[in-house]
């Protein structure tokens, strides 16, 4: 039993007792995004905020400003995922056994 989760299985372990494996597409996406610095995603998110604010203040294209502003949370989550994969690695569980 895993004392931290309170369940009878490890949080990365499935009910069958095996660790899940990543697919080929996931591995190839992670390989490409791992080359992008994590700060790059934050920069793009900040740029999106600036463009959105500029469009909202200086043009009449409020819909476009809102659309671009909605990119920010997604970019930050992608950057966080990128950082987690770099630190932890998606296949780390495989190498523990």
Tell me the pLDDT tens digit for each residue of 68-95. Answer: 999 999 999 999 988 888 887 766 555 5
| Residue 88 belongs to some domain of the structure | yes
Q: Which domain holds residue 59?
A: 24-95
- pLDDT band at residue 31 under the 50/70/90 scheme: confident
| Residue 46 belongs to some domain of the structure | yes
Terminal C-alpha separation, the chain: 17
- Largest Cα–Cα distance in the chain? 59
Helix 24-33 vs helix 71-88: angle between axes, to the nearest 10 degrees? Answer: 100
Least confident span in 37-41, 60-64, 83-87:
83-87
- pLDDT band at residue 3 under the 50/70/90 scheme: low
Number of domains in the chain: 1
| Residue 11 belongs to some domain of the structure | no
| Residue 56 belongs to some domain of the structure | yes
As a whole number, the mean pLDDT across the chain is 80
| Residue 3 belongs to some domain of the structure | no
pLDDT beyond 90 at 5: no
| Residue 77 belongs to some domain of the structure | yes
| Residue 16 belongs to some domain of the structure | no
Instruction: Give the number of other CB atoms < 10 A from CB of residue 33.
Output: 17
| Residue 19 belongs to some domain of the structure | no
Q: Say if pTM beats, i.e. exceeds, 0.85.
A: no
């Amino acid at each position: 039993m895993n004392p931290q989760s309170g369940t009878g299985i490890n949080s990365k372990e499935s009910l069958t007792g095996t660790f899940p494996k990543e697919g080929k597409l996931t591995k190839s996406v992670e390989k490409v995004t791992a080359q992008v610095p994590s700060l790059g995603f934050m920069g793009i998110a900040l740029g999106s905020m600036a463009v959105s604010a500029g469009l909202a203040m200086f043009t009449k294209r409020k819909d476009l400003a809102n659309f671009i502003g909605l990119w920010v949370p997604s970019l930050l989550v992608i950057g966080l995922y990128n950082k987690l994969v770099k630190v932890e690695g998606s296949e780390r569980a495989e190498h523990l056994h």
